[in-house]
Chains A and B, each alone.
Chain A
Amino acid sequence: MAGLGYACLLLALAVCVYGIGASLYGVRRGRPEYSESGRRAVYALAGILTVAFLVIEIAFLRNEFTFNTVADTSSRTTPAFYRAAAVWSSQEGSLLLWAWIMSLWSSLALFLTRRRLREEAAYATAIMLGFGGFFVALMVFYANPFATTSPAPPEGVGLDPLLRFPTMMIHPPMLYAGYTLCTIPFAFGMGALLARRVDADWIRVIRRFAFAAWLFLGTGILLGALWSYSELGWGGYWGWDAVENAALLPWLTGTAFLHSLMIQEKRGMLKVWNVSLALGTGTLAIMGTFLVRSGILDSIHAFGGHTLGVPFVCLIAAMIGGSIYLVVSRRELLRSEHRLDSLLSRESIFLANNIVLVGLCFVILWGTYFPLISEALTGQEASVGPPWFDRYTVPLALILVLLSGIGPVIAWRRATLANARRNFMIPLAAALLTLVALLSAGVSQKPLAIAMFCCAAFVLGSIGQEFFRGARARRAMAGEPAPLALLALVRRNRRRYGGYIVHIGIAVLFVGVAASSSFQHTSELSLSPGQSTRVGAYTVRYVRPTATITPKYDAAHTGSTLSLGAVLDVTEARPPGRHVATLDPSEGFYSSGEAAQGSVGSLIGGQPVSHVGMDVGVTRNIWSAIQPDIETPALKRIVTVGDRTLPPEEGIIAIAYLARAYLQHPPRAQFNLIVSPLVMWIWIGGLIAFGGGLIALWPAPSMVRRRVSVLARGHRAQAAPAGASAALEAAREAKYQEIRDTELDYRMGKLSREDYEVVDATLRAEAITILDRLQPPARVEEPTGSPEERELTPTGA
């Protein structure tokens, strides 16, 4: 088995080297059959790595401890679910997962572009295979997942208890999916620059991938926050930890990219900026992987050894150097086709949002890598803490949320002040109402949180108005009843309305963040049974201790030998008495498997893990964790006596005795209690944003596309070659969509009549140019009568 896996890696490396050579040779010498072969090499890489990944998965599921990784991170007593997830808890397994997912995405991207962007795709193939080859080489030379020991150890060490949490199954793969997806825009951006084809074609191809990267990264980050909040015993969801930041950075530049690429699609502007963002996002994703995998910065996520530093630094240096060289040397090609029409247009709002996002990214990048920077400059390692991050990120986040409400109500190209004023009435009223309501409710201590609530209300108002007006315009245009009109509106403009839903989700999420970080009550204290304390509006009483022993590890649960906890009774403080919730936090003590710790000591000598007791509510969460004192003299004596007298297989008897002693004479226990308001809305906001993202990502209804391709098929022989015509068809679709968007904007009152007529005429002229290029000999008459076309003609003029 291990031999098969290692052979797969060697074969994969060979395939990468061959594919890079073939695709580069093909595109440089104009031999498409070689580029084609390079593309197939990517498919082959995906196939080979799938086999390799299956080998390691099977090894984990079948407990083959000859594999070093299996012995180090799994054991027979680890439940099967966590055995399957344990693959990516090791350095080697993570690298394999990374390379495997990347090869799958690359194959998908190249499959979808098999008839388009020949040249760009050939360069992109070489770059993707470069990444694949890099990670495979790391596994072959530095961290082989198929390394074996013979004879096999009888039992493995087991998965770290901290990682035994259901999110473990999806959080790392989600992040890796996001990171690897970021390399696709990078590869195609590089490809476009190398092939000197920097119009919007490559953007249209990778748009979906950039969006998917954004969605996966965002989900991964949120799942990580959820994990941290509900599993790790500190009660927070975000700590500006280096590894968290590393995932946030490409997400921020990716968000900027998703907005600014629309400007290039529609207007042919911001080409340098867009390609730089795509390249930057890819580089940041690799830097993030590097940070997680190298352990170079101090972090609670200190996963990796220090062996992978040098190769990663070389890769990152090559990526940065190559990007800068290409952008600078192609700067003539990257000139804008248009200028900004007006400062009051959606383009300029997008530009502002981009600047804020990149600023935010710079702040976090600087803070995250500050220990390295400071050591390089002053010779003294130093770091900045959360207050420093908050000082800059909070105001920037406020601006960002505000912009996410302003953007949607401002039309593309030009918006008049009068229209803007009319469109801002409702959102502003919503923000003001929120302010008045908060102040009259007596909330006045935290100005930044209040500002965030008002900004969020502004966003909800502006987007609610968008949906309402859009549905109304649709009703007027198509004569549908209201609910149907709303549905059709979203379905026909998935990108736009999906994006708006994402904005709502982000605003809701920030409400949760602002409320839970500003109005949190925490309390850390030691209590004996019967004592009580006040936390926020609640009284918490330590009712009685609990103790559970698990003789053999129960597969369903987390597998701790001994678990000591407490029952806490939460009541309203004013008026006193009303029961609110019962919490049961505990701490699990795990077996360490080290015989040297004694027959009893080893059973509870592993790393203890908190099990949080939580009461979840829409308005607030009550969070509790306990650190029971297991080292009192009485309890310690039981362990030492047991170590002396009991054989290993009977050690559990002493543990049972210890549990009883703990229950009979419970020592004071240390509690950590947190009441955080609205924290649940962080996850709800995340879900809303995820749903909006899915709507925007979902393929558009293919009616138009099919009709167009039928039309185009007849002309393919004399028209442009297949690749170019596919790109033109895509351009035409985009232009049609833009014409529809503009009409919708006009009907929703965002564009004045005169502006609409000017913009519409320009767009139609642009569409006709594309049609001419698509079918040069005779312009095919635009078929009238189909519902699509009817919508294109201005009926209300």
Chain B
Amino acid sequence: MKYCTAMNPARKRTVRLTVALSAAVVLACALIYTSFSAASPALTPSQLVREAQPGRSYQLTGTVVKGSVHRQGAVLDFSIADRAGGGAGATVPVAYTGTVPDPFKEGREVIVTVQKQNGTYIGEQNSLITKCPSKYKVTPPSTKQSS
């Protein structure tokens, strides 16, 4: 930094500031770029059926289909349907391993990160999130035990 002493202080400060700011901008760009490439898009089941490419992860959002939840050893199988489809949209079967949040239930709205592999959808381990339908109220009637 010897040559800096030759510059006048104001110019030196400007140079320093420019260097610092451009470093910050470069880092911010890297951050922004990676966030777009690493992000998994949030899709509904019918979008997923249309667009999914093997090997990429997607955030699947929808409701758990009634009667679709089965456990086989460590794998939890369930199907997800469109939130507002009323049964008209597509349903996607998911094979999930990992922690199941307490509120997980048939009929609940969930988010799970999935990858398409050989035509089936594999849930990423521990990626299952349950959305509470409203502020911590008990589920509407007729979701359980009635089927």
Q: Does chain A bind chain B?
A: yes
* Chain A residues with a Cβ under 8 A of chain B: 72-73, 89-91, 157, 160, 162-163, 232-235, 298-300, 302-305, 359, 362-363, 366-367, 370-371, 374, 380-385, 387-388, 391-392, 524-526, 592-598, 601, 605-610, 627, 629, 639-640, 643, 670, 672
Residues of A contacting B59 in the complex (Cβ-Cβ under 8 angstroms) = 382-383
Contact with A along B15-43 (1 / 0, CB 8 A): 00000000000011001101110111110
Interface contact A384-B39, CB-CB below 8 Å? yes
Is B53 an interface position by the 8 A CB rule? no
Whole-angstrom distance between the alpha carbons of A80 and B43 in the complex? 43
Interface contact A382-B138, CB-CB below 8 Å? no
Interface contact B28-A597, CB-CB below 8 Å? no
Interface contact A388-B36, CB-CB below 8 Å? no
For residue B31, give the distance in angstroms from its CB to the closest CB of chain A.
6
In the complex where A162-B102, A385-B127 touch, is A601 in contact with B144 (Cβ < 8 A)? yes
Residues of B contacting A235 in the complex (Cβ-Cβ under 8 angstroms) = 99
Interface contact A370-B35, CB-CB below 8 Å? yes
In the complex where A597-B144, A608-B102, A672-B99 touch, is A362 in contact with B39 (Cβ < 8 A)? no
Whole-angstrom distance between the alpha carbons of A125 and B28 in the complex? 37
In the complex where A300-B130, A374-B36, A384-B35 touch, is A605 in contact with B137 (Cβ < 8 A)? no
Interface contact A233-B136, CB-CB below 8 Å? no
Whole-angstrom distance between the alpha carbons of A640 and B145 in the complex? 8
**Residues of B103-147 contacting chain A, CB below 8 A:** 103, 105, 111, 113, 126-127, 129-132, 134-139, 141-142, 144-146
Contact with A along B55-69 (1 / 0, CB 8 A): 000010100000000
For residue A452, give the distance in angstroms from its CB to the closest CB of chain B.
22
In the complex where A233-B102, A592-B138, A597-B144 touch, is A366 in contact with B35 (Cβ < 8 A)? yes
Interface contact B71-A382, CB-CB below 8 Å? no
Whole-angstrom distance between the alpha carbons of A90 and B137 in the complex? 10
Whole-angstrom distance between the alpha carbons of A163 and B137 in the complex? 12
For residue B126, give the distance in angstroms from its CB to the closest CB of chain A.
7
Residues of B contacting A160 in the complex (Cβ-Cβ under 8 angstroms) = 136
For B13, the closest partner residue in chain A by CB is A339
Is B87 an interface position by the 8 A CB rule? no
12 A–B contacts, CB within 8 A, in A order: A157-B137, A234-B99, A371-B42, A383-B40, A384-B39, A387-B38, A388-B34, A524-B74, A597-B144, A605-B145, A607-B138, A629-B71
Residues of A contacting B41 in the complex (Cβ-Cβ under 8 angstroms) = 380-382
Residues of B contacting A367 in the complex (Cβ-Cβ under 8 angstroms) = 35
With A163-B136, A303-B135 known, 11 other A-B pairs at CB within 8 A are A72-B135, A299-B129, A300-B129, A303-B136, A363-B31, A383-B40, A383-B42, A384-B39, A597-B141, A597-B145, A601-B144
Interface contact B142-A627, CB-CB below 8 Å? no
Interface contact A304-B130, CB-CB below 8 Å? no
For residue A280, give the distance in angstroms from its CB to the closest CB of chain B.
16
Whole-angstrom distance between the alpha carbons of A299 and B135 in the complex? 12
Please name the 9 residue pairs, one residue from A and one from B, whose CB atoms are nearest each other, closest first: A601-B145, A596-B141, A382-B39, A160-B136, A234-B99, A382-B41, A381-B42, A594-B141, A388-B38
Interface contact A596-B142, CB-CB below 8 Å? yes
Whole-angstrom distance between the alpha carbons of A362 and B28 in the complex? 9
Interface contact B136-A384, CB-CB below 8 Å? no
Residues of B contacting A596 in the complex (Cβ-Cβ under 8 angstroms) = 141-142, 146
Which one, A302, A607, A672, contacts B102 given CB within 8 A? A607
Interface contact A302-B132, CB-CB below 8 Å? yes
Residues of B contacting A374 in the complex (Cβ-Cβ under 8 angstroms) = 36, 39
Interface contact B35-A388, CB-CB below 8 Å? yes
Is B97 an interface position by the 8 A CB rule? yes
Is B85 an interface position by the 8 A CB rule? no
Residues of A contacting B131 in the complex (Cβ-Cβ under 8 angstroms) = 298, 302
For residue A148, give the distance in angstroms from its CB to the closest CB of chain B.
18
Whole-angstrom distance between the alpha carbons of A524 and B97 in the complex? 8
Interface SS of chain B: helix, strand, loop or mixed? loop
For residue B145, give the distance in angstroms from its CB to the closest CB of chain A.
3
Residues of A contacting B42 in the complex (Cβ-Cβ under 8 angstroms) = 298, 371, 380-383
**Residues of B46-83 contacting chain A, CB below 8 A:** 59, 61, 71, 73-74
Chain A CB within 10 A, most for which of B32, B35, B105, B139: B35
Residues of A contacting B146 in the complex (Cβ-Cβ under 8 angstroms) = 596-598, 601
Is B89 an interface position by the 8 A CB rule? no
For residue A292, give the distance in angstroms from its CB to the closest CB of chain B.
11
Whole-angstrom distance between the alpha carbons of A216 and B102 in the complex? 29
Interface contact B102-A605, CB-CB below 8 Å? no
Which one, B36, B101, B105, contacts A234 given CB within 8 A? B101
Interface contact A524-B132, CB-CB below 8 Å? no
Interface contact B40-A304, CB-CB below 8 Å? no
Whole-angstrom distance between the alpha carbons of A232 and B100 in the complex? 10
Interface contact A385-B40, CB-CB below 8 Å? yes
Residues of A contacting B134 in the complex (Cβ-Cβ under 8 angstroms) = 305
Residues of B contacting A90 in the complex (Cβ-Cβ under 8 angstroms) = 135
Interface contact B27-A359, CB-CB below 8 Å? yes
Residues of B contacting A363 in the complex (Cβ-Cβ under 8 angstroms) = 31
Interface contact A233-B35, CB-CB below 8 Å? no
For B127, the closest partner residue in chain A by CB is A385
Whole-angstrom distance between the alpha carbons of A639 and B144 in the complex? 11
Whole-angstrom distance between the alpha carbons of A302 and B108 in the complex? 13
Interface contact B31-A366, CB-CB below 8 Å? yes
Whole-angstrom distance between the alpha carbons of A526 and B100 in the complex? 14
Residues of B contacting A91 in the complex (Cβ-Cβ under 8 angstroms) = 135
Residues of A contacting B27 in the complex (Cβ-Cβ under 8 angstroms) = 359
Residues of B contacting A524 in the complex (Cβ-Cβ under 8 angstroms) = 74, 97-99
For residue B47, give the distance in angstroms from its CB to the closest CB of chain A.
9
Chain B CB within 10 A, most for which of A299, A385, A598, A610: A385
Whole-angstrom distance between the alpha carbons of A235 and B97 in the complex? 15
For residue A300, give the distance in angstroms from its CB to the closest CB of chain B.
6
Whole-angstrom distance between the alpha carbons of A643 and B147 in the complex? 13
Interface contact A605-B144, CB-CB below 8 Å? yes
Residues of A contacting B105 in the complex (Cβ-Cβ under 8 angstroms) = 607
Residues of B contacting A298 in the complex (Cβ-Cβ under 8 angstroms) = 42, 61, 111, 129, 131
Whole-angstrom distance between the alpha carbons of A390 and B113 in the complex? 18
Interface contact A598-B145, CB-CB below 8 Å? yes
For B108, the closest partner residue in chain A by CB is A607
Residues of B contacting A89 in the complex (Cβ-Cβ under 8 angstroms) = 136
In the complex where A382-B42, A383-B40 touch, is A643 in contact with B129 (Cβ < 8 A)? no
Residues of A contacting B132 in the complex (Cβ-Cβ under 8 angstroms) = 302-303
Which one, B101, B129, B139, contacts A233 given CB within 8 A? B101
For B59, the closest partner residue in chain A by CB is A383
Whole-angstrom distance between the alpha carbons of A179 and B141 in the complex? 37
For residue A658, give the distance in angstroms from its CB to the closest CB of chain B.
12
For residue B12, give the distance in angstroms from its CB to the closest CB of chain A.
11
Whole-angstrom distance between the alpha carbons of A610 and B102 in the complex? 7
Residues of B contacting A73 in the complex (Cβ-Cβ under 8 angstroms) = 136
For residue B127, give the distance in angstroms from its CB to the closest CB of chain A.
7
Residues of A contacting B61 in the complex (Cβ-Cβ under 8 angstroms) = 298
In the complex where A160-B136, A300-B129, A607-B139 touch, is A391 in contact with B145 (Cβ < 8 A)? no
Residues of A contacting B127 in the complex (Cβ-Cβ under 8 angstroms) = 385
Whole-angstrom distance between the alpha carbons of A325 and B40 in the complex? 37
Residues of A contacting B35 in the complex (Cβ-Cβ under 8 angstroms) = 366-367, 370, 384, 388
Whole-angstrom distance between the alpha carbons of A384 and B40 in the complex? 6
In the complex where A234-B99, A300-B129, A605-B145 touch, is A592 in contact with B139 (Cβ < 8 A)? yes
Residues of A contacting B137 in the complex (Cβ-Cβ under 8 angstroms) = 72, 157
Interface contact A304-B135, CB-CB below 8 Å? yes
Whole-angstrom distance between the alpha carbons of A764 and B90 in the complex? 78
In the complex where A366-B32, A597-B146 touch, is A384 in contact with B102 (Cβ < 8 A)? no
Residues of A contacting B129 in the complex (Cβ-Cβ under 8 angstroms) = 298-300
Interface contact A392-B31, CB-CB below 8 Å? yes
Residues of A contacting B36 in the complex (Cβ-Cβ under 8 angstroms) = 374, 382
Interface contact A609-B136, CB-CB below 8 Å? no
For residue A638, give the distance in angstroms from its CB to the closest CB of chain B.
11
Chain B CB within 10 A, most for which of A300, A359, A606, A610: A300
For residue A368, give the distance in angstroms from its CB to the closest CB of chain B.
11
Whole-angstrom distance between the alpha carbons of A498 and B105 in the complex? 48
For A380, the closest partner residue in chain B by CB is B41
